[in-house]
Structure formats: C-alpha cells, structure tokens
Structure 1
Amino acid sequence: MNDHRYQRLAETLTGFSTSLKKGDRVLIDAFDIPEEMTLALIRAARDRGAIPTVALHSGRIAREVTLGATEKDLAAHARVELQRMKNMDAYIAVRGSHNIFETSDVPAERIRAVMKAMKPVLDWRVKKTRWVVLRWPTAAMAQQAMMSTEAFEDFYFRVCTMDYARMQPGMKALCALMDKTDRVRITGPDTELEFSIKGIGSVPCGGLRNIPDGEVFSCPVKTSVEGMLSYNAPTVYQGVAFDNIRLV
C-alpha cells in the first residue's frame, strides 16, 4: 500500500527530528509496524545520503525472549546491542503493538532484569545519538481514545507531521514564564496540588525526540509538593492496565 502519509512522516523523522546528512549511520528500530513504513524510512534516509541499518522487532518474540532469558543471556544480548549503538549517529524507533497486553503475564522481575541489562544501550543512545521515538497508531489505540480506527489514524498522522518549527516561538514564551515562576497550582476533579518549580528550569520539546510533541516540561522541587492528584484517564504500561489512580 502506497500511503503518502508514510512518506511525509518518514521525511519528518529523518529531516526535522534527526537531521540526517550524508554519511550518517542511522539505526531504524521497527516494532510491529507495516513494512511500507519501514521502507519509507529507508528511502527517506537514503535520499539524505544516510546509511540505514534496520532492526525488525515482534512483541510476541520479545515476550518469549524475556520469559526465558538468563542473566547471562541478557548480558550477551546487551553487549551486542551496545556495540551496534556505538556505531550509529542517529536512531529512529517506531513502535507498534498487535496486542497492548502482550507482556501482561511477564513477571515484573523479568521486565526489570531486561531494563537493567539494556540500560547502557539506552544511555548511549540518549546521550550520544540524534534520536527520535514514536508510537505507531493501531486499532487498540483508537479504541482507548474511543475513536474509529480511520479517524484516529488521520488525527495521529496530522499531529505527527505538523510544522514543529512554527511551534518554537510559543514554546520559548512558555519557557520564559516557567523559568521565572515559583509556585504552581493544579486543580480539577479530586485534584488540588501545589508545588514550587523555582530554580528547576524548563525544557522545550518541539519534535526532536518524541513524536507527537509540543510540551515544555519541568518538575517540582521535591520537598515542596502538597495535596492530591487524580488521574481520570486509563492507561496501559508494559502490558498492565492502570485506572482511577489517586496520589495523596
């Protein structure tokens, strides 16, 4: 299937997000996404003179590896992955899922073991490469958003391929406001939270690392947080569903 949205998204990821240029080595991590999108990324990278390396991943296979891998297995795998990452200038990951609960029966300690083994790879990628990561729109995501699959896909591709450069002036203004702010108050249903962000600073995110993007983030001074916070939207993390979370 020749979907023009794939090409446009690939151009955004290889251009604005990672600024690929001639001779750049880029690792394309494709997790359960259509082959056509992976092909679009390869072609877009080559059009910019970059050298693409592709890794294809499956959620079911990853589950099986995680369930049975020993500490020695994980260490060996991490060494291979780290060596490959050290040879890359850029990294693009597009992560889909045929079943968002694929890892729901994987013991938490197994997932922690994988994350611990792979941390050096993650650290190298974050600190040493130009990287961007995004989710792939699926029927499961549309269902969570209570939208039709087609409507959700259209919405998702629009926000993923928007002109992020035009967002920069507004983000700078918000950064300036946050940088001079001391107290923050958040109110809502079952939510009354106050904290300080004085001296923390702010970081604008305009399409360079995560897509879709557009946030300006900071964090509270640890000892300043008071009140309660409620989350009214369900979410799934590592195959586990969370809903009606309330922090006091």
Structure 2
Amino acid sequence: MYTPDDLKLAKKLLEHSIELKEGENVMLQLIGLNGIGLIRALAEETRNRNAHPFIKLEDPETNRILLENGDDAFWQNQAITDQLPLMKQMNAFIGIRGAENIYENSNVSSEANKAYSDKFLNPVHFEERVNNTKWAVLRYPSAAFAMNAKMPTERFRTFYYDACLFDYNRLHEAMKPLEERLRKTGIIRLEGVGTDIEFSVEGQNWIPCYGKRNIPDGELFSSPILDSVNGQITYAPSVYQGKPFEYVKLIVKNGVVIDFDSSNNQALEEILNTDEGARRFGEFSFGLNPIIREPMYDILFDEKIYGSNHLTLGKDYEIAPNGNSSSIHWDLVCIGANVYFDGKLVREGRNFIADDLLGLNIDKLTAP
C-alpha cells in the first residue's frame, strides 16, 4: 500500500509543513503515478486527523498534450471553471511531482507556456494557492530521478529521504544569525568563476525556509532592489520548461539582462523575451541544506544546495517583493561563490567564515 518511509514523510508534511488541523480542506495533487504510495499515506493520515482530502491525480503526458494545444482562452476557462473555485475552498495544498521524464515538455512553445502561466499558473497557484493556503510541494524518487542525480537507485532513495526528513527545526535555529545579518546588509556581492555581481537588498524582507513550503527545504530568500543588479553571473546546470541547460551566463546592467550565453541560446532567448520582467530578477536566496551538495537537474533540490545562491529571473514573491512582474520564475543556481556583505567576506566558497555563521556549515549541521 505504502512504505514506512512514505508514512514518515506524510506525517512530516501534515504535521510540520502545513500544520493540518481538524476540519480543514487539503488538496493532494500528484503529477505522475510514481508517487501513489505517498498519496495513499497522506489520504489516510488526513482522515486520521478528521480533515478532508481532495485528491487530484494527473498524467504528465496528458498535461503535455494540453500544454501544446492550450491558448489563453483554454487556460482561462480551466482556471475559472475548475481549479480556481476549488483552490479558494482549500485551507492547505500538497503538490507531489512524480513525473519521471524531466524533458516531457521540452517541445512546448514559448507562446503556449506563456498562455499557461498567464491564465492558469499565476491566478491559481501564485495568486491564490501561494498567498491564501498553507502549502508544500515536493518531488518523488524514481530510477529516472536517480539517473539525473548520477546515483544508484537505492542510494538515491536513501539520499532523498535523508534530505526530506532532515531536522528542519535545527536548521531554522542555525539560520537565525544569517537572517539577522541580512536584515542589516545593504550590498551583497557574489564573486567566483564566471561570476562577479552585486546588488542592493537594503530594507528588503528576508524569509527563512525550513520545511514549511518545500520538501526538501533549506533556504533564506528575499529579492534584490530591482535596478541595482550589475555584473555577470554563471549558473549550474538547469532544466526550465522541459528545456535543459548545461550552463547559463548572464550579463546584467542596472537590473536588466543585456547579454547572455548558454548551452541552448535559442531556448534561453525565448525565455528572456517572454515579457519585460523576464530579463529582471525577482528573488535572491542562500541554499543551506547540508544533505544536498550537487546539482541534479531538479530545482526543488538544486536551489537548496549547500553553499549555493540563486538569483532568480522573473516574478517576485509578495512576501518579499521588489516590484518585478513576469510570467516566469526561474530559480537559477550559482554554487560556491564567495559572498560579501557590504564589502566584508562572510562566505568563502561554500563555507561560512564569519564567527556567528559557522553553525550553518556542514560539520555543524550534521554533527550528532
């Protein structure tokens, strides 16, 4: 029916992530049947808490057909007829991404992706679900997922549950000195191979993430002052809208991407041309999960990589806004850059060197 690990994860999601209460409505969405055991565990545990599960099972290949053939009118009708009214009745949401082919949507056109984002994804998820429910999203392990991570399948399953079931309360305590420093910081600079970029975060809000919205988790994010970003930044491998990128390099002036290079420049240019906000940045974050150490072509893991940062193209979050509006939100990850706060080095490579931040290093977070 389901594994003991699935039951542990289901309990963590319901108790820690969304703090489900008796009588509440929760949407349990699974894309790809690979995670059906976790859905079963979640459904059973939800009813054990006298709460109400609403199950949505989706097939990735069918979703691709809809994406390829959808337009503004189609997605607007999908939103207002089905998903948006239901989401408005939810107290909580858990989304499980169990699809095995990360390139399933690689042939979907930029116009079709934009229609989906503008008329469905933004109103249903970014505006309603993100702002008005207790929510969490996660991937589910598979042989294909293990292959992307370059691990044997069973070793990957162990890694997956170690990362997802990490002691996030411990991580939250370790984050607090970094959050305190960031709230007093004006200028952040990243400097590394192919990267030398700086921007202002003065007065911005900072949000610690410790298992309440993503599983696995472990980041501390805000957004840069919109027109303050200047320099160049080189990112690790990424997949966005089903399109793979072995690297992405951006040249930025006064907050706008003015030049770029990548392993797939045609696809990158299409993404950057989505709208005006697609060439600007809506988020900056520190990756802090000590279990996740290498990129695996999955942003829910990669954005949490220990010793990383992501400077995100596109839409900001209302909880930490900078005024950028876009149909895209692409969390591109830079790993191992030196980090300076107002000219002072606080992280060298992937290790913090400031005395009050040493608790965020691997040896401290994973110590017995």
Match of 2:317 in 1: none
CA displacement at 1:2 relative to structure 2: 3.8
Aligned residue number for residue 35 of structure 1? 36
- Once the two structures are superposed, the pairs formed by residues 82-121 of structure 1 within 5 Å of their partners are 82-118=84-120, 119-121=122-124
Which gives a bigger RCO, structure 1 or 2 (Cα 8 Å, sep 6+)? Answer: 1
CA distance in 2, matches of 1:70, 1:172: 45
Deviation at 1:49, TM superposition (A): 1.6
Contact 1:178–1:201 at 8 Å: present in 2 too?
Answer: no
Q: Is the 8 A contact 2:35 2:96 kept in 1?
A: no
Change (3 A) 1:95 1:89: same
Match of 2:149 among 145, 148, 156: 145
> Would you identify which runs of 4 or more consecutive aligned residues in structure 1 move more than 4 Å?
none
User: Matched residue of 1:34: which SS?
Assistant: helix
- The verdict on how the C-alpha distance between 1:68 and 1:222 changes in structure 2, with shifts beyond 3 A counting, is closer
1:127-170 Cα deviation digits (max 9, x unpaired): 11111111222333322222222212211111111221222221
Query: Which residue of the other structure, out of 129, 132, 136, is the alignment partner of 1:132?
Result: 136
**5+ long unaligned stretches in structure 1:** none
Q: Does the 8 Å CA contact 1:193/1:228 hold for their aligned counterparts?
A: yes
What is the percentage of aligned positions where both structures have the same residue?
38
31-40 or 3-12, which moves further after superposition?
31-40
Equivalent in 213, 229, 241 of residue 238 of structure 1: 241
Q: CA RMSD in A?
A: 1.5
Give the corresponding residue for 1:205: 209
| SS in structure 1 of the partner of residue 227 of structure 2 | helix
Counterpart Cα distance in 1 of 2:70 and 2:186: 48
Structure 1 CA distance for aligned equivalents of residues 100 and 202 of structure 2: 43
Q: Per-residue deviation at 1:70? A: 4.6
The 1:70–1:217 alpha-carbon spacing in structure 2 relative to 1, beyond 3 Å, is: closer
- Residues 1-248 of structure 1 correspond to what in structure 2 (within 5 A)? 2-32=2-32, 33-79=34-80, 80-118=82-120, 119-122=122-125, 123-231=127-235, 233-248=236-251
Distance in 2, Cα, partners of 1:96 & 1:120: 23
Aligned equivalents of 2:78 and 2:185: distance in 1? 45
How far apart are residue 25 of structure 1 and its match?
0.6
Segment drifting more, 70-79 vs 102-111: 70-79
Distance 2:71 2:249 in 1: 36
**Aligned mates of 2:223, 2:71 — CA distance in 1:** 37
* SS of equivalent to 1:222: coil
Q: Distance in 2 between matches of 1:157 and 1:200?
A: 34
CA deviation vs aligned residue, 1:82-123 (integer Å, no higher than 9, x gap): 111111111010112121111111111111111111122111
- Residues 199 and 229, structure 2, Cα contact 8 Å, conserved in 1: yes
State how far apart, in whole Å, the 2-side matches of 1:114 and 1:66 are. Answer: 7
Contact kept in structure 1, 2:141 and 2:160, CA below 8 Å? yes
Provide the C-alpha distance between the structure 2 equivalents of 1:114 and 1:149, rounded to a whole number of angstroms: 33
Query: For residues 176 and 83 of structure 1, what CA distance do their matches in structure 2 show?
Result: 39
TM-score, normalised by the number of residues in structure 2: 0.64
* CA 83–188 in structure 1, closer or farther in 2 if over 3 Å, else same: same
Q: Give the structure with the higher percent helix.
A: 1
Aligned pair in 2 of structure 1 residues 170, 143: CA closer, same or farther (>3 Å)?
same
Separation of aligned partners in 2, 1:147 and 1:131: 29
Given that residues 198 and 230 in structure 2 are in contact (C-alpha distance below 8 angstroms), is that contact kept between their aligned partners in structure 1? yes
